[in-house]
Every structure is written in structure tokens, then in C-alpha cells.
Structure 1
Amino acid sequence: MNNKLLLINPVGHDAWDREIKDYLEPYKEEGTQLDVVSLKPGLPQHLEYHYYEALIAAELLHTIKKAEQDGYDGCIIGCYYDPFLKEAREICEQMVVTAPAEAAMHIATTLGSTFSTIVVRRKCIPDMRDNVFHHGYTNKLASFRSLEIGVHELQKDPDYTKQRLREEIRVAIEEDGAEAILLGCTIQLGFFRTLQEEFGVPIIDANIAPLKYAEFLCGLKKKAGWYFSKKALYETPQREEIKQWGIEKACGVSGLWD
């Protein structure tokens, strides 16, 4: 099945775009076209703080809406916080939208009865715990384990990062009772396979999971007509209000809601 997917790195630089695209090429279906973009320069370069996350909201959501206009079948928000996923589904009327934490948890809880998430810093845990609750998996959560390595440091010394991952995964499995491990940052890419072979449990990569989940959701929509319900949570804002209030002009996105 042919799908046109857009992965958005919701940060103000494109340093990871090519690496992530190349990394995902072997994992996508033959008929899937995958494009990877990031947001405009001047926006935060990571989302480790709530303030930074708030600053990317409008640009991210308008990029998603424009992708729907441009005929994409699905969009992936490339951050494990799943920033503005609910809002993205609200504004979309045809395009599938997903994100790493949602996809990873759905997959992990199919493959095992419990999971632990390996985060970059303790700062991440409260919001990520809220996401676990939101998606209904509190009773499946074994633990969060923190590397205490910032996002921009994860790939600077891969051997050290892998060693820290190994240490925390071992504790998560042996002491916390995790049957599956979620790598809780998209920049932890490239580590899952050797760790999975070493520990013998599913190690869920934060880039591959939403790619495969997006393909799955696109298939459900095309084959069965199943799409996000617009009866309550994901009801789309009224175009008349958006036009009347001048939101497109104020945000510099004229014609976005035509």
C-alpha cells in the first residue's frame, strides 16, 4: 500500500533530518514515501523544558495542517513527549497523526505485559508519566530510568550512551520487572538492535515505532475507513471562526484553512 508520510522534528534546526530519514529507510514499507523536515530556525533546538515546548506549538501545528493540504497520508511528530498530538488530530480532517510515545506504548504492551522507559533526564519523567496515564497504560508501567544525558549529548559519545543504556536496561528488567524497554528519545536511534540481542527483550526504538504505527493507521483508514472520531475530543475548529478572527493573517499562514 502506498503511503506518503511526513516526519517532523519539532525543533529549530535540521541537523538530525537526514540521519533520521536514512535510519528509517530500511524499516518502511516498499510503497511508503517518507519525508523528514524540521521547524524554522530561531525556535528551540530541544524540548527539555516546558517553555521550549510551548514556543513550537503554532509552527508545529501549522506545518502539520499544511502537510494535510499537500496530500500527505500521515504525519509523525518526532519527539517522545508527543507534543501537541491531541491538537494536531483536532485540526486534521483526513491525515493520520501519531507520535513516538503513543506508538511505542501500544506496541510494547502487545509484546509484553510491562514496560520501562529509558529517558534522557529526570526532568522528562513527570510529563512522560502523564502520557502513560493518558494512553491508559499506568498498570503496565514498570518504571522510568534516566540516563542523565542531555539530548544533544546522546550521539557525541555513542559508546558511553550505550553503556548507560545497558546499565539502566539491566536494572529495569532485573529489578523493576520490565518485559519490554522503550527508548524514550528519538535521538537514542541506532542502539536498539544490539541491546535487544543482548537482553533478549523487545527494545522499542522511538523512530521506528511511530513509522510503523503511522503505516498501520493509514492502512486502517484506507481499508476500513477508521479515522479519528470527530464527535468530541478531536472535533475540528470551525473555519468560520478562524476566518472571522483573522487567525491565518495573525499567524502568517494565509490560506491554510481554505
Structure 2
Amino acid sequence: MQVALFVPCYIDQLYPNVAWATLELLEKLGCEVTIPDAPVCCGQPMANTGCWDDARPLAKSFIEQYDQYEYIVCPSGSCTSMIVNHYHDLVGEDAQYERIRLKTFELCAFLTDVLKVEKLDVSFPHKVGLHQSCHGLRELQLGSCSEVMGEEFSKARTLLEMVDGIELVDLTRKDECCGFGGTFAVSEEAVSCMMGNDRIHDHEHAGAEVITAGDMSCLMHLDGLIKRQKKPIRTMHIAEILAGRDVAVQT
């Protein structure tokens, strides 16, 4: 199976270990992975700020560069959602984009829905709290939302339950926003920090040693608050856990 790995800009620049872990995980599961020599920003920061003319060239470049691949996988729910749900606003009706949209997947969705992973030969003997990001839940349907009646599910949790030795702690509010929201964290700093601290407290109260998520942007926000307050809790992207990385070697 041929997979193009799209590495978001903030992971490329700040958290390269997440990109490596994603690559290792996909290859371990039998994928032939390519990282295209193309722009590493989906255009979301510009689009969210209203700079549509600046975001449009990035969308067009992404579509042109990634159309040749069988599948496109991204370890970020918000970037994936930008591509599959919002590029239409930038490029309009476009047959090439429609092909891109149908074959672009967030990492956990790709593992559960395309590869249909049922077993992972990895161990992570730690207490873990799962943060489910807003984009992943409400725009990609990676899990159920508490405001909607229906069967409860979580693609990320399903994968984590395959990890030997892991103890997934139960949170009081399983799908609450961390407060990051991209530019929201800049324009509404106080509210953003308060929301982030609430999420951290929920994980602490549940006894988590590690907070994991499918969006490194959420974890970046939480990790900043954790480090400033010198709290004894770590953050790790879900790709790192599923690839067999251990919290002890994280920096």
C-alpha cells in the first residue's frame, strides 16, 4: 500500500519525533511510505485568520503534489480536516481535489478504517489520559461527542487498548476542548489558558502519567502550561505510543 505522509509545519519544525514515529508505525504495518518534497503547511493558520489569498496557493500546491499517491496520511486532525473539509472554499469545484479529499486520512482513522489494525505488538506500561481534539471529533468523526446521543466510540482509544500494559484512565469530561484553537490562544489568551488548565486538572485527577492525543497542537498548548507549572505529567502524540516509544526517552 502506497502512502504519502503529510507532516504538518509545526510537527516538522518543533516535534520531528512525531513524524519519525508515524513513519515507523506505518512501515511496521506494511505501508510503503513517501514524504513528498512539497510545502509542509496545509494553509490552516492563514485561512483561520481570514487570509484566504495566502492560503489558496498552499491548497493548490498540496493538491498538485499529492494527487499521485494511493493514500495520504496526516498525524494531525486539524490539518486533515482543513484538507478534506475546507479546501473546497479555496479551490471550488475541482475533480482533482475531490480525489485528494477521498484518500486523505488522519492517522488513527487510517489505521482503523483502511488498514483495519486489530493488533499492535508494542508495550507502554503507564497510566494514560486520552485528549480527543475538537477537529477530530466534530469534523472528522474520530469519536462520539457527548452533546450527541448515540453509541460511544473512539478510534484513538480502540488503538490504545491494543497496547500491552497501558492503563487508560477515565476522565470526567472526555471530549472537552483544551483551549488552544490556533489563533484563539493568541486573541483570547486568558480564556485559552484557563481551559487548558481545566483539561490538565481532569487528567491529573484521573491519575494520568501521560496525556496523549492525535493533535500535537493541542498537546503543545497543554505541555506549555504543564512545564511552566512544573507538573509531574508528560505529553506524547499517539503515534509515539503506538510506535513503541517510551515516555522515559521523551525530551
Q: Same fold (TM over 0.5)?
A: no
- Normalising TM by the smaller chain, what interval? 0.3 to 0.5
* TM-score, normalising length: structure 2: 0.44
Structure with larger Rg: 1
